[in-house]
Structure 1
Amino acid sequence: MTIFGTSIETIYLVLLIVAGSLTILYILFGDIFHGIGEALSFLHPTLVLSFITFFSASGYILERVTSFSSILIMAISAIIAIILVTLLNVFVLIPLSSAEESLSYTEESLKGRVGKLIISIPQDGYGEIVIDSKSGMISKPAASYENHAIEEGKQVLIIEVKDGVLYVVPYENNRLYNEDLEKIETI
């Protein structure tokens, strides 16, 4: 069978090469296209590219090996691609997406946690804080909530998060220390 003067085998092969190349590009530059996947959740780029790859690969193989009609081969290839994409989605992509969420954290979830300064915070400056978590150590930039200097090695309580910076106050012996005596709170 020929379409627009090109054999169907050549079309399958070109589709396979293009889909494979796009898959490699998606792996390398997937973060750029992540927004497209969020906007069109039913057309996830991974599923679309894998469908085209499975469809073209099975179509090419069936055209080369069997003597079925090209229409029947297209139907068989589409069924094979749908089955494989469904299996890929159910057994690989869905478990991976839920595992990723369980290990991640949001900046808002860091509020109220206690960490240790590994780089001191100068007055009106920035330092660095380390927070222990179930998935490992989290290291983030930190600044004093009250614009006071805080020494390296001190435990601090995270009060606020703005633009990726954790705003902290000193935290010792289950007490918050503040220059203003009215604000001392026992936890």
Structure 2
Amino acid sequence: MTVFGMDIHSFYLTILLVSGCITVLYIFFGDVLDAVGEGIVFLNPALILSFITFFSASGYILEVITSLSSILIIVISVITAFILDTILHFFVLVPLSSAEESLSYTEESLKGRVGKIIIPIPDDGFGEIIIESKSGTISKPVASYENTPIEEGTQVLVIEVEKGVLHVVPYEDLDTEQS
């Protein structure tokens, strides 16, 4: 069978090489194309490229190792690519996208969090705080909100963030005081 003047083996191999090269380019420059797939899930460039790669790879392999008709091989390749693409989407891309969001934080999200002073804050000076989170420990520079010294080991509440410095006040947990 010939497609676009090429035999089917060469067609599958050409599509495989081109989609592989585009996939490598997408890895490096994919942030530009991510806006395209933002609202419409089935237009995700990673899924489209992987479908084309799976289709051409399975088609080439089936053409080389079997004696099935080319039309049947195309149908089998489309079904195989669809199944592999679905597996890739639900078991790799969806968990990765949700994990990426859960591990990040913004400085604004630190407002209202409780941390512990590890380097004491002098009058009108700076110290250091650690804040425990699900993704690990966050260490940031800190200053007293009221410009008063705060000792090492004191639990503090983050009031505001200004130019990367957390401004804090000593924190008293009401639940532990009532016990």
TM-score by length of structure 1 reads 0.68
Count of residues paired in the alignment? 173
**Post-superposition CA distance 1:16-35 (Å, at most 9, x none):** 12222333333344444433
**1:155 positional shift:** 5.0
Any idea what SS the aligned residue of 1:160 has? strand
CA contact (8 A) 2:155 2:172 kept: no
Counterparts of 1:43-58 in structure 2, within 5 Å, are: 43-58=43-58
Identity over aligned pairs, percent: 62
Root-mean-square deviation (Å): 3.5
Letter of the structure 1 residue corresponding to residue 49 of structure 2: L
CA distance in 2, matches of 1:47, 1:123: 56
Q: Does 1:7 align with 2:10?
A: no
Q: Tell me what 1:88 maps to.
A: 88
Counterparts of 1:87-106 in structure 2, within 5 Å, are: 87-106=87-106
Any idea what SS the aligned residue of 2:138 has? strand
**1:44 positional shift:** 1.7
Any idea what SS the aligned residue of 1:15 has? helix
CA contact (8 A) 1:119 1:129 kept: yes
CA distance in 2, matches of 1:17, 1:24: 11
Runs of at least 5 residues in structure 1 that lack an aligned partner in the other structure: 176-187
CA distance in 2, matches of 1:61, 1:82: 17
| CA 1:58–1:135: 2 relative to 1, 3 Å | same
Counterparts of 1:74-153 in structure 2, within 5 Å, are: 74-116=74-116, 129-140=129-140, 148=147, 153=152
Counterparts of 1:14-33 in structure 2, within 5 Å, are: 14-33=14-33
TM-score by length of structure 2 reads 0.71
| CA 1:35–1:120: 2 relative to 1, 3 Å | farther
CA contact (8 A) 2:157 2:171 kept: no
**1:127 positional shift:** 7.0
Q: Tell me what 1:168 maps to.
A: 167
Q: Does 1:69 align with 2:69?
A: yes
CA contact (8 A) 1:159 1:166 kept: no
**Post-superposition CA distance 1:115-173 (Å, at most 9, x none):** 34567889999876432112211234656657x4867956542223467x354123255
**Post-superposition CA distance 1:23-65 (Å, at most 9, x none):** 3333344444433332433222221121111000011112222
Letter of the structure 1 residue corresponding to residue 37 of structure 2: G
Letter of the structure 1 residue corresponding to residue 167 of structure 2: V
